[in-house]
Amino acid sequence: MQLRYSFRLYPNAVQQAALAKAFGCARVVFNDAVHAREGARRAGQPFPTAGQLSRELITEAKRTAGRAWLGEVCAVVLQQSLRDAEAAYRNFFASLKGTRNGPQLGAPRCKSRKDHRQSIRFTANARWKITDAGRLDLPKIGAVKVKWSRALPVTPSSVTVIKDAAGRFFASFVIDTDPAADAERMPQTESTIGIDLGLTHFAVLSDGTKIDSPRFLRRAEKKLKKAQKELSRKQKGSKNRAKARLKVARAHAKVADARREFHHQLSTKLISENQGIAVEDLSVAGLARTRLAKSVHDAGWSSFVNMLKYKAGRYARTLVIIGRFEPTSQTCSTCGTKDGPKPLNVREWTCSACGTVHDRDINAAINVKTAAGLAASACGAPVRPGAIPAQREETGSHGFPTGNRAA
């Protein structure tokens, strides 16, 4: 399995200018590829191949006066931008054919220079390296200072330099994990658990444990409201508005980082302590259209479940996701009697058949575990994700605004 190890970068002013130039050149090549394909489609001609685009948009374009500045950045960055365009079209056509899971994708669009998140990728043939002084030496950019939180376990296959909306820089390394080291890190266990996700409590476990919801967005609303109000009062196009926008972005980044840290810590704890984990498939998109939308987005259930998925695959754990229509809140976990639907304000109820008094959430978690046990016996295999993008790994995986933690 491939994972991403991300570390905070601190480029100086000259290096930031070089990175800005590389971001811009990569964006131009991507947009030229989109224009070339769109022009061929309108003319009724076959799409140009990757080799033709590389020759026309990079090699020959560097010899022209209008694109001569493409030679000022690493050629690998431009080639990887073309690969991104090819991947975008492959995903688009796969979505049209119905062979790609998820919502239908639209045709690739040109990138804007006003996009606040930008990235470039260096593969091994770019000859980037980590110096003896612990700096990341990138071609035509220089040796950039890195805030290392831990050592890389193996030599990375590529590195992506990212500038986020808050103006922070990160280096994201792709690492191939070692199954033997993962097995030693988290040995087999006999424990299993069922999880009921909610809003009052983020997670209730089948053993009775209740994990409170941190509500990071709710706690930061006052600060976010003030920053957003200041932004709305600034004149469009002014430098003060740019500063205010950066302040809003940093406030949102702090909330997102804290939420991601919480998800990583909890998912790692559950994976390390349990061999089998059961969770319910929630309709997050549907719940996000209700009056609970802000709280649902603040909880971040989908992100948490995705972390459970890839960590279960990495550490050979069994993860079972039961159907969203399973009546876990209506069924008595003691006798199995289905007692009918109940409004959300009913947190405790008594079974009409056996008289057992149930805590609504704990009873649901037990039923999730029971339903998953039946599903597990049918398939009998741990969840292992297929071909997926490299995942961020462990706590603090994308750094904090202070740069004190990264992974």
**pLDDT tens-place string over residues 335-365:** 888 888 888 888 888 888 888 888 888 999 9
Q: What pLDDT shows up at residue 398?
A: 42
Residue 100's φ and ψ, nearest 5 degrees, are: -110, 130
Could you give the count of Cα atoms lying within 13 Å of 282 in the half-sphere of its Cβ? 22
Which residues sit opposite 194 in a β-bridge?
278
What does the alpha-carbon distance between residue 308 and residue 270 come to, in Å, rounded to a whole number?
A: 8
CA-to-CA distance for 38 and 185, rounded, in angstroms?
50
27 or 186: which leads in pLDDT: 27
Q: Is the pLDDT of residue 73 over 80?
A: yes
Catalytic residue among 164, 298, 361, 393: 361
For range 373-399, the mean pLDDT: 44
Among candidate residues 8, 126, 26, 39, the one with its CA nearest the CA of residue 70:
26
- State yes or no: is 86 an active-site residue: no
CA-based torsion, 377, 382, 388, 392: positive or negative: positive
Fold annotation for 187-213+265-385: Nucleotidyltransferase; domain 5 (3.30.420)
pLDDT at 378 over 70: no
Question: Between residues 131 and 372, which one has the greater pLDDT?
Answer: 131
Please, are residues 169 and 160 in contact by the beta-carbon 8 Å criterion?
A: no
Among residues 164, 196, 261, 326, the one annotated as catalytic is: 196
Using CA atoms, how far apart are residues 189 and 81, in angstroms rounded to an integer?
A: 44
The pTM assigned to this predicted structure is 0.85
Active site annotation includes 280: yes
Residue 405 has pLDDT above 50, yes or no: no
Confidence at residue 211, expressed as pLDDT on a 0 to 100 scale: 95
Task: Look over the chain and give the mean of its residue pLDDT values, rounded to a whole number.
Answer: 88
pLDDT, tens digit, 9 for 90 and up, residues 202-217 = 999 999 999 999 999 9
56 is catalytic: no
**How confident is the model over 32-42, as pLDDT tens digits?**
999 999 999 99
The pLDDT of 387-393, averaged and rounded, is 49
Q: What pLDDT is recorded for position 248?
A: 96
Q: How many Cα atoms occupy the beta-carbon half-sphere of 392 within 13 Å?
A: 22
Q: Which amino acid is at 91?
A: N
pLDDT of 192 above 50: yes
Domain ranges of the chain: 2-177, 187-213+265-385
3-state secondary structure of 25: helix
